[in-house]
Amino acid sequence: MVRGLSSRALTLVWLAGLGLCVAASGLSASNGRPPEVFLPVGISGAVYVTSGYVMVRRRPGNRIGYLLGAIGLFQAGQVALRHLLPVTEVTNVALGPVGPVILSYVLLAYPSGVLAGRIERWVVGGIALTFALFAVATVLTVDPMAHGTSRCPPCVANPLRITDLSVFPVIDNLNSVAVVAAGLVVSILCLRRWLQAREGARRVLAPVLFGGIVTGLGFAVVGLVFFTRLDFSLGAQVLLLLQILIPIALAVTFVSVFAARGAVSAAVVQLGATPRTEALEDALRHALGDRELIVARWSAASGAYLDREGQRVDLDQLDRSRAALRLERDGQPLAAVVHDATLNVDAELVATVADAVRFSVESTELRDQLRARGGDVADLPRGEVTFLFGDLEGSTEMLSTLGDAYIDVLAELRRIVREVTDRFAGRVVDARADECFLAFAAPTQAVTAAIEIQRRLGDASWPPGAEPRMRIGLHRGTPDLTSDGYVGLDVHRAARVMATAQGGQIVASAAVATALGDQLPAGVTLLPVGYVSLKGIAEPEFLYRVADAG
Q: Is residue 377 domain-resident?
A: yes
* 32 and 177, same domain (yes or no): no
Q: Is residue 245 domain-resident?
A: no
* 177 and 279, same domain (yes or no): no
* 427 and 486, same domain (yes or no): yes
Half-sphere exposure of 274 (CA within 13 A, CB side): 10
* 471 and 493, same domain (yes or no): yes
* 347 and 463, same domain (yes or no): no
For residue 544, give the H/E element and its range: strand 541-547
* Domain assignment of residue 346, given as a range: 259-368
> Looking at the 3D structure of the chain, how many domains does it have?
4
Residues with Cβ within 8 Å of 231's Cβ and at least 6 positions away in sequence, in order, are 225
* 383 and 309, same domain (yes or no): no
Give dist(CA 208, CA 190) in Å, integer.
6
The DSSP code for 154 is S
pLDDT of residue 2: 43
Give dist(CA 111, CA 345) in Å, integer.
6
Q: Is residue 253 domain-resident?
A: no
For 293, phi and psi rounded to 5 degrees? -60, 140
* 13 and 130, same domain (yes or no): no
* 396 and 533, same domain (yes or no): yes
Q: What angle do CA 88, 218, 192 make, to 5 degrees?
A: 125
Q: Is residue 438 domain-resident?
A: yes
Residue ending a domain, among 32, 58, 84, is: 84
Please state the pTM of the whole predicted model.
0.53
pLDDT of residue 504: 87
Give dist(CA 155, CA 86) in Å, integer.
5
pLDDT of residue 149: 42
Task: Determine contact, residues 62/112, Cβ cutoff 8 Å.
Answer: yes
CATH number for the domain including 523?
3.30.70.1230
Task: Determine contact, residues 472/504, Cβ cutoff 8 Å.
Answer: no
Q: Is residue 49 domain-resident?
A: yes
SS3 content of the chain, % helix, strand, coil (to 5): 60, 15, 25
The two counts, helices (H) then strands (E), for the chain are 16, 14
Of 8, 71, 63, nearest to 41 (Cα)?
A: 71
Give dist(CA 367, CA 388) in Å, integer.
19
Residue ending a domain, among 63, 84, 105, is: 84
How many beta carbons lie within 10 A of that of residue 518, not counting itself? Answer: 4
pLDDT of residue 42: 65
Give dist(CA 395, CA 467) in Å, integer.
10
* 4 and 25, same domain (yes or no): yes
Sign of torsion over alpha carbons 84, 140, 125, 174:
positive
Tell me how far CA of residue 449 lies from CA of 277, 281, 378, 439, in angstroms. Answer: 17, 20, 22, 11
What residue spans of 229-290 are helical by DSSP H? Answer: 233-271, 277-288
Amino acid at site 476:
R
Of 467, 381, 373, 469, nearest to 425 (Cα)?
A: 381
* 33 and 70, same domain (yes or no): yes
How many beta carbons lie within 10 A of that of residue 171, not counting itself? Answer: 18
Q: Is residue 241 domain-resident?
A: no
Give dist(CA 141, CA 134) in Å, integer.
10
User: Strands 304-306, 312-313: parallel, antiparallel or unpaired by DSSP?
Assistant: antiparallel
* 118 and 133, same domain (yes or no): yes
Residue ending a domain, among 84, 103, 136, is: 84
Q: What is the mean pLDDT of each run of 10 residues along the chain (550 residues)?
A: 52 62 55 50 74 77 82 75 65 75 84 80 88 80 59 63 67 73 82 73 73 68 59 56 72 70 61 63 77 82 78 82 82 83 68 77 62 59 88 80 77 83 83 80 91 86 79 89 77 88 90 87 86 83 84
Q: Is residue 251 domain-resident?
A: no
Give dist(CA 298, CA 326) in Å, integer.
10
